[in-house]
């Protein structure tokens, strides 16, 4: 990472103890956010059966979660601006844990749907808060650390899913399982208060929350005040990147198994290979992503990764071979690993925009993208074939590569001196 726009000085070569503790706190929040819902996924059939629901009714209840996230997602920015990312992250993490426990306690479909609404709302606010605080910590480091947070989220999702499956297989009561998970998540989230940085995220004088720290970010007077022509164009390109990122990430999970089993003739046991390989490659990419960003900068990393991923998926689909298709999605997972982290960072550093507002907007747009992609691919698959429909992934990769220039770091409004380097 090169120098960052700062009022007086760049981050120290060795981060202060406060920064290292705060990084650990953000790590915990990312892990908790992933582990919470990952434990719920293997218990969805039990939730359905306990309430005597049909698959359609269960699906409708689950759909309340993204609805809650979309409704509350845009409010996350003002909430973070008013109460700080640290306080908001702790509170939202605790609320997420409570919502997980409420799922198992729901006595009816309506109560289950309301619990999913609460889960989605807490997840959306926590997502914005922990990413915003991660950017505060990033400003105190002389190297990139932003993708490591998302790598931990991926690890937590896998670990939570494995743990939930093991507990389900052990015939542990649903209420006990989710109550324990929810309680641990809530208490651990509250405990991060001892680790996270104090103070406001864009407060003049000490945005990083450290004594004597000079302001690296000047606050916007209101939500989007100061955002003008070039900034609006950049915001639009970032929104486009996050939408197509959702298409790249959703497609392996939503349609990979159907593609392998229905059109490429594999066994049911092999059906999850596309999703597993994609997620494993993405996790690996996020673990090494910070070093790549430090060396080559976000624009080149994203362009190279998405072009390679798009080409690999296109060739795999064209071949009609299961192994080539799985390998192609693996390359796509590696290439797309840094997309969401760098888009959040770029949005959080737009001149004239508060950090929390920029992150909240991108998170909201990203969730909308995840909602649009599955029905789009499904409709195209019905009209043609899933192999043809999944060409949306190479197309999305090309769009991301073409828009990657928006990821170039910009000096923040109110900074003095010049600074800006490829990171």
DSSP 339-377: HHHHHHHHHHT-TTS-HHHHHHHHHHHHHHHHHHHHHHH
Average pLDDT over residues 257-275: 83
> Each residue of 290-338: pLDDT tens digit?
999 999 999 999 999 999 999 999 999 999 999 999 999 999 999 999 9
Instruction: Judge whether residue 139 has pLDDT over 50.
Output: yes
- The pTM score is 0.78
Task: Compute the distance between CA of residue 37 and CA of residue 25 in angstroms, rounded to an integer.
Answer: 19
C-beta separation of 266 from 322 below 8 A: yes
**305 to 187, 206, 355, 390: CA distances (angstroms):** 38, 36, 26, 18
CATH class of 17-194: mainly alpha
The answer to whether the beta carbons of residues 142 and 11 sit under 8 Å apart is: yes
Domain ranges of the chain: 17-194, 229-407
Percent of the chain scoring above 70 in pLDDT? 87
Q: What is the pLDDT of residue 376?
A: 87
**Residue 113 clears pLDDT 80, i.e. is over it:** yes
Lowest mean pLDDT among 149-158, 162-171, 195-204, 398-407: 195-204
Render pLDDT for 88-97 as a digit per residue (tens, 0 to 9). 999 999 999 9
- Alpha carbons 326 and 313: distance in angstroms, whole number: 8
Give the residue, 316 or 422, on which the prediction is more confident.
316
Averaged pLDDT, 248-257? 85
pLDDT tens digits, residue range 175-191? 999 999 999 999 999 99
Q: Is 13 exposed, middle or buried (0-12, 13-18, 19+ CB in 10 A)?
A: exposed
Of the pLDDT bands very low, low, confident and very high (cuts 50, 70, 90), residue 51 is: very high
The dihedral region occupied by 84, where left means phi > 0, alpha psi between -120 and 50, and beta the remainder, is left
**CATH fold match for the domains 17-194 and 229-407:** yes
CATH architecture entry for 229-407: Up-down Bundle (1.20)
Asked if pLDDT for residue 217 goes beyond 70, the answer is: no
């Amino acid at each position: 990472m090169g120098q960052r726009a700062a009022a007086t000085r760049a981050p120290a070569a060795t981060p202060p103890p406060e920064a290292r503790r705060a990084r650990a706190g953000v790590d915990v929040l990312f892990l908790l956010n992933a582990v919470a819902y990952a434990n719920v996924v293997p218990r969805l059939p039990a939730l359905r059966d306990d309430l005597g629901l049909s698959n359609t009714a269960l699906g409708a209840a689950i759909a309340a979660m993204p609805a809650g996230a979309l409704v509350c997602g845009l409010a996350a920015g003002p909430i973070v601006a008013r109460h700080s990312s640290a306080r908001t992250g702790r509170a939202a993490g605790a609320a997420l844990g409570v919502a997980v426990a409420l799922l198992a306690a729901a006595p009816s479909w309506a109560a289950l749907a309301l619990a999913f609404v609460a889960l989605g709302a807490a997840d959306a606010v926590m997502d914005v808060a922990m990413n915003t605080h991660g950017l505060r910590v990033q400003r105190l480091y002389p190297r990139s650390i932003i993708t490591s947070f998302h790598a931990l989220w991926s690890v937590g999702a896998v670990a939570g899913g494995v743990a939930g499956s093991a507990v389900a297989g052990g015939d542990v009561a649903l209420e006990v399982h989710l109550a324990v998970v929810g309680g641990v998540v809530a208490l651990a989230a509250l405990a991060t208060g001892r680790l996270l940085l104090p103070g406001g995220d864009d407060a003049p004088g000490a945005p990083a929350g450290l004594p004597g720290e000079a302001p690296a970010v000047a606050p916007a007077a209101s939500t989007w005040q100061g955002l003008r022509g070039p900034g609006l164009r950049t915001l639009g390109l970032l929104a486009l990147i996050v939408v197509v990122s959702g298409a790249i990430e959703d497609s392996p999970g939503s349609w990979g198994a159907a593609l392998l089993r229905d059109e490429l003739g594999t066994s049911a046991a092999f059906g999850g290979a596309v999703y597993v390989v994609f997620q494993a490659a993405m996790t690996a990419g996020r673990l090494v992503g910070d070093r790549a960003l430090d060396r080559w900068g976000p624009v080149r990393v994203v362009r190279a990764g998405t072009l390679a991923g798009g080409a690999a998926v296109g060739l795999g689909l064209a071949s009609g071979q299961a192994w080539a298709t799985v390998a192609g999605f693996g390359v796509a997972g590696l290439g797309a690993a840094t997309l969401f982290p760098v888009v959040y960072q770029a949005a959080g550093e737009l001149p004239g925009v508060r950090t929390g507002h920029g992150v909240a907007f991108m998170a909201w747009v990203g969730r909308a993208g995840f909602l649009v992609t599955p029905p789009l691919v499904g409709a195209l698959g019905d009209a043609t074939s899933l192999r043809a429909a999944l060409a949306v992934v190479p197309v999305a990769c090309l769009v991301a590569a073409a828009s990657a220039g928006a990821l170039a770091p910009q000096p923040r409004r109110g900074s003095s001196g010049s600074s800006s380097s490829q990171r």
